[in-house]
Chains A and B, each alone.
Chain A
Amino acid sequence: MSEQETVLRISNLNFSYTHSGMILDNISLNIARGEKIGVLGPNGTGKTSLFLLITGVEKPSSGEIYLYNKKITPGKFHPELGMVFQDSDDQVFNFSVFEDVAFGPRNIGFTGEELASRVNHALGHLGISHLKERPPHQLSGGEKRLVAIAGGILAMQSRLAIYDEPTSNLDMKFRRKLINFIKTSNQEAALIASHDLEFILETCNRVIILDEGKIAADGKPQDIMGNWDLMKKHSLEVPHSLWNK
Chain B
Amino acid sequence: MEISAKADSKSNTIFHQWEAESKLISFILLMFSFAMIRNIELVIIMILVSAVMFFVSGISYSCLLNRWKTPAVLVLLMGLMVLFFSEGQILITAGSLTITREGLLGMIILISRVMSILTLIVILFETTPFLDIITAMHNLGLPKILADMTLFTVRYIFTLNWQLKQMKKAIILRGFIGNKISSWKEYAILIGGILVRSFEQSDRVYKALAIRGYSFEQIRSAPAGWDSRDKTMCYSFAVLALLISSIQVYLNIPGV
Residue contact A104 to B213, C-beta cutoff 8 Å: yes
Determine the chain B residues whose CB is within 8 A of the CB of A52 once the complex forms.
Answer: 207
In the assembled complex, the CB of B220 is this many whole angstroms from the nearest CB of chain A, namely 8
Task: Given A107-B213, A152-B212, verify A134-B4 contact (CB < 8 Å).
Answer: yes
Residue contact A57 to B210, C-beta cutoff 8 Å: yes
- A135 contacts which of B4, B7, B211, B212 (Cβ < 8 Å)? B4
A74-96 to B contact mask, C-beta < 8 Å, 1/0: 01010101110101011101111
In the assembled complex, the CB of B89 is this many whole angstroms from the nearest CB of chain A, namely 53
- A103 contacts which of B129, B156, B201, B219 (Cβ < 8 Å)? B219
- B208 contacts which of A81, A91, A137 (Cβ < 8 Å)? A91
Decide yes or no whether A223 CB sits under 8 A from chain B.
Answer: no
Determine the chain B residues whose CB is within 8 A of the CB of A83 once the complex forms.
Answer: 208, 211
- B158 contacts which of A82, A111, A137, A156 (Cβ < 8 Å)? A137
Decide yes or no whether B165 CB sits under 8 A from chain A.
Answer: no
Determine the chain A residues whose CB is within 8 A of the CB of B215 once the complex forms.
Answer: 77, 107
Decide yes or no whether A55 CB sits under 8 A from chain B.
Answer: yes
Decide yes or no whether A108 CB sits under 8 A from chain B.
Answer: yes
A-B pairs with beta carbons under 8 A, tally: 87
What separation, in Å, do the CA atoms of A203 and B40 have in the docked complex? 73
Determine the chain A residues whose CB is within 8 A of the CB of B176 once the complex forms.
Answer: none
Residue contact A90 to B201, C-beta cutoff 8 Å: yes
Decide yes or no whether B152 CB sits under 8 A from chain A.
Answer: yes
Residue contact B6 to A77, C-beta cutoff 8 Å: no
Residue contact A89 to B3, C-beta cutoff 8 Å: no
Decide yes or no whether A98 CB sits under 8 A from chain B.
Answer: yes
Closest to A115 in B: B221
What separation, in Å, do the CA atoms of A212 and B5 have in the docked complex? 47
Residue contact B213 to A95, C-beta cutoff 8 Å: no
What separation, in Å, do the CA atoms of A10 and B151 have in the docked complex? 37
Determine the chain B residues whose CB is within 8 A of the CB of A133 once the complex forms.
Answer: 4-7
Determine the chain A residues whose CB is within 8 A of the CB of B205 once the complex forms.
Answer: 90-91, 93
Decide yes or no whether B209 CB sits under 8 A from chain A.
Answer: yes
What separation, in Å, do the CA atoms of A107 and B216 have in the docked complex? 11
Decide yes or no whether A106 CB sits under 8 A from chain B.
Answer: yes
Residue contact B208 to A85, C-beta cutoff 8 Å: yes
Determine the chain A residues whose CB is within 8 A of the CB of B207 once the complex forms.
Answer: 52, 57, 90
Decide yes or no whether B204 CB sits under 8 A from chain A.
Answer: yes
Decide yes or no whether B27 CB sits under 8 A from chain A.
Answer: no
Q: Which residues of A contact B (CB under 8 A)?
A: 52, 55, 57, 75, 77, 79, 81-83, 85, 87, 89-91, 93-96, 98-99, 102-104, 106-108, 111, 133-135, 137, 151-152, 156
10 nearest interchain CB pairs?
A107-B213, A104-B212, A135-B4, A90-B204, A137-B158, A96-B4, A91-B208, A77-B213, A95-B131, A133-B6
17 A-B pairs (CB sep. < 8 Å)? A55-B211, A57-B211, A82-B211, A90-B205, A90-B207, A90-B208, A91-B205, A93-B205, A95-B3, A95-B129, A95-B131, A98-B5, A103-B212, A106-B218, A133-B6, A135-B3, A135-B4
Q: Known contacts A90-B207, A133-B4; can you find 16 more A-B pairs with CB under 8 A?
A: A75-B210, A85-B208, A87-B204, A90-B205, A93-B156, A93-B209, A95-B3, A95-B4, A95-B130, A95-B131, A95-B155, A103-B212, A103-B213, A107-B214, A107-B218, A134-B4
